[in-house]
Amino acid sequence: MKKILFINPTINNTVFGKMKMLALPPMGLGVLASRTPERYSVAVIDENVDTLDTGADADLVAVTATTGQAPRAYQILHEFRRRGIPTVMGGIHASVLSGEAARHADTVVTGEADELWPRVLDDYEKNNLKKVYAAETRPGLENIPKIDRSIYSSKYMVHSVQTSRGCPCNCSFCSVTKFNGSRYRFRTLDQVVEEIEGLEDQRFFIADDSIVGLGNDGIAHAKNLFARLKGLGKSWGSQVCITIAEHDDLLRDAAEAGANTFYIGFESIDAEALKSVNKKINLRPIIRNYKKTIRKFHDHGIGVIGGFILGTDADTKDVFDKTIEFIHETGIDGSQFTIMTPFPGTRLYEQMKKEDRLLYTDYPKDWVRYNAYEAVIRPRNMTVDELIRGWRRVYDETSSPLNSIKRGFRTLVNTGSLVNASINLFWNYYNYRAIQHANKLERVPVPDAGARPWVKAVPGQYCGDNPPE
């Protein structure tokens, strides 16, 4: 029986290292494994929780990668190709830069690979693998097979499910719309419920681009989903568009269905910053008052983890103090602060390239820096060093051990949930520890003569442009 090895690489950056504790199972690889005929044996290795042995026995190797993972993916592909094992690369980075990926993999799959995978395997069996397979349409989700969870490591803190794909927001920094499309596609609720009922854990995460979409179809899907989840006795979290706060009935239904934590992309507290990244949806009148909106979630017992981007073209040096003040004033439960990053395939990348503001362009080696936690562009209204130090200070002053405890207690008071309090205390403190690790790394110069407190070369990284023989 031939063996297929599915691999999700880690990001070998020196800022956060391997963020194992916050990893979710790679759903895309799980779907492909479930579409693989039973005449194959399959194994999924996620370097965020597993150790990969590049000398492992395999007949075919399939690697997925985001941009930050790409250099490590190329290294892995090189090691297996050197042994004469056919390799396939897919995922968002390969989809956007198929030419680059094709220099490192025998075969590249672009777009969502659900329906292409059987064709790839058929050609593999005929010893006729093509260089590139391109998905011409985005697949419907009505017939996604049930994922065999036994293929995943037992080390994940929480498992995830997916109920939909797609996002119409098209923010300039985000590649979701380019990869998954602007139209929502939904799985059948019978499939979703069956999958959730099969989870051994009482908690899970819904890994949709947004569990409540825009428009009537998205709202109807959410209403029906919440109704089906009410009787399962499980608790869950999800990523959600802030527009859910426009619908008190949806918040109530979500809470009654077991929702206890939502991740929301606030992105910025500044209106001009939101406009600059095309996140205008956050400016809608009912939700623009973030403090009041957060209170709505708390009133339903739901904790809020907010995502914020620092270093937009509208940001000045006072953005850090304003963000710290906002975190403390609103009682937001958990927070994630990223640095504005132009991922390839986004409008932001094209803008930064046109304006000659990209700091690191030695590709593919420098893709490892495109992880949202390193400065890879020249900010408009501050130096690189000011941006990095400000970003670090925001984490220091909101997620220190003392502040993490205070915020956890405040979550307990606001939501009445010890589970919420524990989740958010852990989230904040974990991020704080990561920043402390970053602070200890050596200083090296950056192209604009600023200073980068935490960049260090990753030894043994294969990033050559020529395909291995």
Out of 2.20.25, 3.80.30, 1.10.10, 3.30.70, which CATH number does the structure's domain 158-167+195-438 have?
Answer: 3.80.30
Hey, where are the domains in the chain?
Answer: 2-134, 158-167+195-438
What is the torsional sign of CA 112, 116, 31, 98? negative
Q: Between vectors from CA 119 to CA 117 and to CA 123, what angle results, nearest 5°?
A: 120
Closest CA to 419 of 263, 260, 277: 260
Q: Residue 241: CB partners within 8 Å, gap ≥ 6?
A: 169, 210, 212, 213, 214, 264, 265, 281
Using CB atoms within 10 Å of the CB of residue 449, give its burial: 0 to 12 exposed, 13 to 18 middle, 19+ buried.
exposed
CB of 35 closer than 8 Å to CB of 60: no
Helices (H), 230-318: 248-256, 271-276, 285-288, 290-299
**Predicted confidence band of residue 139 (pLDDT cuts 50, 70, 90):** confident
| Cα 50 from Cα 8, distance rounded (Å) | 10
What pLDDT does residue 438 have? Answer: 62
pLDDT in tens, 174-187: 888 778 877 888 89
- Cα–Cα distance for residue pair 251/374, rounded to 1 Å: 35
Q: Across-strand partners of 358?
A: 377
pLDDT band at 110 (very low <50, low <70, confident <90, very high): very high
Q: How far apart are CA 224 and CA 222, in angstroms?
A: 5
The pLDDT value given to residue 136: 82
- The conformational region for residue 447 under phi > 0 = left, psi -120 to 50 = alpha, else beta, is alpha
**What tens digit of pLDDT does each residue of 186-233 get?**
899 999 999 999 898 889 999 988 888 777 888 898 999 999 999 898
Task: State pTM to two decimals.
Answer: 0.89
Distance (Å, whole) CA 220 – CA 204: 22
Task: Show Cβ contacts of residue 380 under 8 Å, excluding neighbours closer than 6 positions.
Answer: 313, 315
Say if residue 17's pLDDT is above 70: no
Residue 468 has pLDDT above 60, yes or no: no
**Across the chain, what does the average pLDDT equal?**
87
Identify the pLDDT of residue 14. Answer: 52
Higher pLDDT residue, 75 or 447? 75
Relative to beta strand 87-90, strand 159-161 is unpaired
Q: How confident is the model at residue 445 (pLDDT cuts 50, 70, 90)?
A: very low
pLDDT at position 381: 95
**pLDDT of amino acid 451:** 38
Q: Does the structure show a pLDDT above 60 at 261?
A: yes
Among the residue ranges 83-92, 171-180, 228-237, the one predicted with the least confidence is: 171-180
178-216: burial string, b at 16+ Cβ within 10 Å, e else: bbbbeebebbeeebbbebbeebeeebbbbbbbbbbbbee
CATH number assigned to the domain covering 2-134: 3.40.50.2300
Alpha helices in 184-243 (DSSP H): 189-197, 215-229
3 state SS of 359: coil
Which H or E run includes 361?
none
Q: Indicate the pLDDT class of residue 446, thresholds 50, 70 and 90.
A: very low
112-116, 124-128, 342-346: lowest mean pLDDT where?
Answer: 112-116
pLDDT tens column, 373-389:
889 999 999 999 999 99
Q: Could you count the other beta carbons within 10 Å of the beta carbon of residue 447?
A: 12
97 band by pLDDT with thresholds 50, 70 and 90: very high
Instruction: Identify the pLDDT of residue 13.
Output: 57
Distance CA 98, CA 110 (A): 7
Phi/psi at 403 (nearest 5 deg)? -70, -35
For residue 5, pLDDT beyond 70: yes
The contacts of residue 108 (CB under 8 Å, 6+ apart) are 88, 89, 90, 94, 98, 101, 102, 131, 132, 133
Query: Do 2-134 and 158-167+195-438 show the same overall fold?
Result: no
Of the listed ranges 238-247, 335-344, 346-355, the one predicted with least confidence: 238-247
